[in-house]
Amino acid sequence: MKRFSLIALFALCAFVLQSPRHPRFEDHAIKVRFKKKPVQLQLDRRRYSDRLSVALQKGAKHGPNFADQYTIIQWPDKSACFRFGVANAITGEFYEFPDIRCGNLVYSRGSRLLIDDPIDSSYYAREKGQIPNYIYTRFYLWTGSTLKQIDTAHTPMEFPYEPSYNFVYQ
């Protein structure tokens, strides 16, 4: 009996060490405290067209949807992809993410974690277990002024959350 328990323990340890552990929302949880109306965005008029400025303002009015006081706003790019930025509901500051995204974003108001382009099990099944090398999930942590990449994954994962959307159109 003792020998069987020892073998089971080794098997469990091997499984745990073999399974990659990626960041989860609860790993970077924060308290949701902001309950006021968001202030107007402070946008550089030289950088954003009038139409885009109006659309971004509308997106920010929806209120925080990420990391307590922040609002993620997505807008279409000239391709089939999109751009996104983070609006601070307290100060009105706007941080534009420099890269164009083509996949889904998953985020939560109660966490500083943002998951970009998650590979879920349905995609994995559709591709018959063959995920192209150029497709991978990226995990970012919001620092208060930027998104810092903290991990990547090239394996399918189960996500307890649906992709998040706050699209605005020009």
DSSP state of 167: B
The pTM for the full model equals: 0.80
pLDDT at 53: 93
Domain boundaries, given as residue ranges, for the chain: 24-153
Please report, as a single letter, which amino acid is at residue 7: I
State the DSSP string of 104-161. Answer: -EEE-TTBSEEEES--BHHHHHHTTT---TT--EEEEEE-SS-EEEEEEE-S-B--SS
pLDDT at 13: 45
pLDDT at 163: 62
Q: Please, are residues 78 and 52 in contact by the beta-carbon 8 Å criterion?
A: no
Q: Please, are residues 107 and 115 in contact by the beta-carbon 8 Å criterion?
A: yes
Containing 53, the helix (H) or strand (E) segment is: helix 50-61
pLDDT at 134: 79
pLDDT at 94: 96
Question: What stretches in the chain show pLDDT beneath 50?
Answer: 4, 6, 8-18
DSSP state of 81: S
